[in-house]
């Protein structure tokens, strides 16, 4: 398995942890979207979190959308993931570029800016679950920590990291989400707090060959970690001409008629994989017929 998520816990079940390696998945996304290093870092961190959060869903057909919308130049980040480990995503501005921050790192915080984080969980019920929180600093990991704590009342620790090589390819990417169970012992939590100091640079750890197993062992050092499950994850888009047609129908009869008269065709591009679909005159006429009916 190239890219995977491990689900584990300490022996006393005070916390649960999901640790992921996503280097290849993020590289795939980088190639599709032709992202700058800064956009790769923002997209890669979000993809890692999204993939993990998708696996947290219980139902076969459950789906999760993670949306980060700030006032910075990257504009917005959208990730869609399911409970089977399939993830896709995009950033509105893949060519965003800013000077490194004062620590000499890619300035994801400034690229994202101030705004909101929204999580939509489609659990195949009548209405989807929608949770929102304010962005803390736009670095994504801290924003998600705040989301879990305030919106889901679930105290958590989130670490996400992407290391970009000189040729802009992804050298390392991964992260973890740790969640505190109700009635967790204070002693266990302070042990973890100490351990977390050694795991602050997650992309560096992955770049030197550490695997999710090693990361869980480091975070839960001294607490007899257990691994429950290993799940493969991947970047894949499930778009089709049919699905894009729905977007075309949604623009309404008047605009469709205008496109048909002026351009005689429409070209729609999938945000997630950049595949283009062309609807010719006959397609458009068929669609119009159905809109009227
Ligand atoms: Zn697509």
Joined together, the tokens standing for residue 222 give 């001294």
Instruction: Return the pLDDT at 160.
Output: 98
Q: How many angstroms is it from 153 CA to the middle of ligand 1?
A: 34
C-alpha dihedral over 146, 121, 18, 47, to 10 degrees?
-80
C-alpha 43 to ligand 1 mean position (Å): 16
Task: Summarize pLDDT for 58-100 with one digit per residue, the tens.
Answer: 999 999 999 999 999 999 999 999 999 999 999 999 999 999 9
Q: Is the pLDDT of residue 1 over 90?
A: no
Q: Left, alpha or beta for 209 (phi > 0: left; psi -120 to 50: alpha)?
A: left
C-alpha 232 – ligand 1 centre gap (Å): 20
Contact 207, 163 (CB under 8 A): yes
- Could you confirm whether domain 4-235 is CATH 3.55.30.10? yes
Query: What is the pLDDT, as a whole number, of residue 86?
Result: 97
Distance CA 193, CA 216 (A): 13
**pLDDT per residue over 126-149, tens digit each?**
999 999 999 999 999 999 999 999
Q: What is the arithmetic mean of pLDDT over 218-247?
A: 95
243 pLDDT above the threshold of 80 = yes
Higher-pLDDT residue of 198 and 87 is 87
Q: Which of 162, 188, 150 has its CA nearest to residue 16?
A: 188
Residue with tokens 């607490």: 223
Rounded to two decimals, the pTM is 0.94
Start-to-end CA distance of the chain, whole Å, equals: 49
Sorted by where each begins, the domain ranges of the chain are 4-235, 241-292
Identify the three-state secondary structure at position 45.
helix
C-alpha torsion angle, residues 134, 137, 140, 143 (rounded to 10): -40
What is residue 250's predicted lDDT score, i.e. its pLDDT? 87
Can you tell me the distance from the alpha carbon of 49 to that of 206, in angstroms, rounded to the nearest whole number?
Answer: 16
What counts of helices (H) and strands (E) characterise the chain?
Answer: 10, 13
Cα(237) to ligand 1 centroid in Å equals 5
Give me ligand 1 centre to Cα 112, in Å: 24
- Model confidence at 200, pLDDT cuts 50, 70, 90, reads confident
Question: What single-letter DSSP state applies at residue 85?
Answer: S
- pLDDT at position 198 over 90: no
CA dist., res. 88 & res. 80, Å (int): 5
Q: Which residues of 187-199 are buried (b: 16+ CB within 10 A; e: fewer)?
A: ebeebbeebeeeb
Residue 102 has a pLDDT of 95
Q: What pLDDT shows up at residue 41?
A: 98
> Cα(23) to centroid of ligand 1, in Å?
21
Span 4-26, average pLDDT:
98
Strand 86-91 relative to strand 234-235, pairing: parallel
For residue 290, the model assigns a pLDDT of 84
Note whether 55 and 71 are within 8 A (CB).
Answer: no
Distance 277 CA to ligand 1 centre (A): 10
State the Cα–Cα distance between residues 244 and 235, nearest whole angstrom. 19
Quote the ligand 1 centre to 89 CA distance (angstroms).
10
DSSP for residue 198: G
Task: Tell me the pLDDT of the chain averaged across its residues.
Answer: 95
> Please, which pLDDT band fits residue 18 given cuts at 50, 70 and 90?
very high
22 C-alpha to ligand 1 centroid (Å): 20
- Residue 157's nearest CA partner among 3, 44, 18 is 18
Whether the per-residue pLDDT at 6 is higher than 90: the answer is yes
Instruction: Dump pLDDT digits (tens) for 105-128.
Output: 999 999 999 999 999 999 999 999
CATH 3.40.50.970 at 241-292, yes or no: no
Return the pLDDT at 136.
97
Of 185, 181, 230, give the one whose Cα is nearest residue 18.
Answer: 230
How far does the centroid of ligand 1 lie from the alpha carbon of residue 264, in Å?
Answer: 23
3-state DSSP call for residue 185?
coil
Q: Ligand 1 center to residue 278 CA distance, Å? A: 14
pLDDT score of 251: 85
pLDDT category at 272 given cuts 50, 70, 90 is very high
- Residue 117: how many CB atoms within 10 A of its CB? 25
Neighbours of ion ligand 1 (CB under 5 A): 237, 239, 270, 272-273
Residue 293 has pLDDT above 80, yes or no: no
């Amino acid at each position: 398995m190239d890219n995977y998520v491990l689900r584990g816990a300490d022996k006393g079940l005070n916390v649960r942890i999901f640790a992921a390696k996503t280097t290849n998945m993020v590289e795939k996304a980088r190639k599709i979207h032709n992202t700058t290093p800064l956009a790769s870092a923002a997209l890669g961190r979000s993809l890692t979190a999204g993939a993990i959060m998708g696996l947290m869903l219980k139902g076969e057909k459950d789906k999760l959308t993670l949306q980060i919308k700030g006032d910075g130049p990257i504009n917005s980040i959208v990730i869609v993931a399911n409970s089977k480990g399939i993830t896709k995503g995009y950033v509105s501005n893949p060519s965003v570029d800013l000077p490194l921050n004062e620590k000499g790192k890619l300035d994801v915080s400034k690229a994202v800016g101030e705004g909101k984080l929204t999580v939509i969980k489609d659990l195949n019920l009548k209405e989807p679950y929608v949770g929102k929180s304010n962005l803390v600093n736009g670095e994504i990991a801290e924003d998600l920590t705040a989301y879990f704590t305030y919106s889901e009342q679930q105290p958590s620790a989130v670490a996400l990291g992407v290391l970009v090589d000189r040729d802009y390819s992804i050298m390392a990417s991964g992260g973890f989400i740790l969640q505190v169970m109700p009635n967790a012992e204070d002693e266990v939590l302070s042990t973890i707090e100490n351990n977390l100091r050694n795991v602050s640079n997650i992309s560096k750890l992955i770049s030197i060959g550490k695997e999710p197993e090693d990361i869980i062992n480091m975070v839960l050092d001294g607490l007899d970690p257990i691994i429950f499950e290993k799940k493969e994850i991947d970047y894949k888009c499930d778009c089709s001409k049919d699905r894009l047609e729905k977007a075309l129908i949604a623009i309404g009869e008047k605009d469709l008629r205008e496109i048909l008269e002026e351009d005689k065709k429409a070209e729609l591009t999938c945000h997630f994989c950049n595949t283009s679909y062309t609807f010719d005159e006959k397609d458009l006429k068929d669609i119009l017929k159905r809109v009227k009916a």
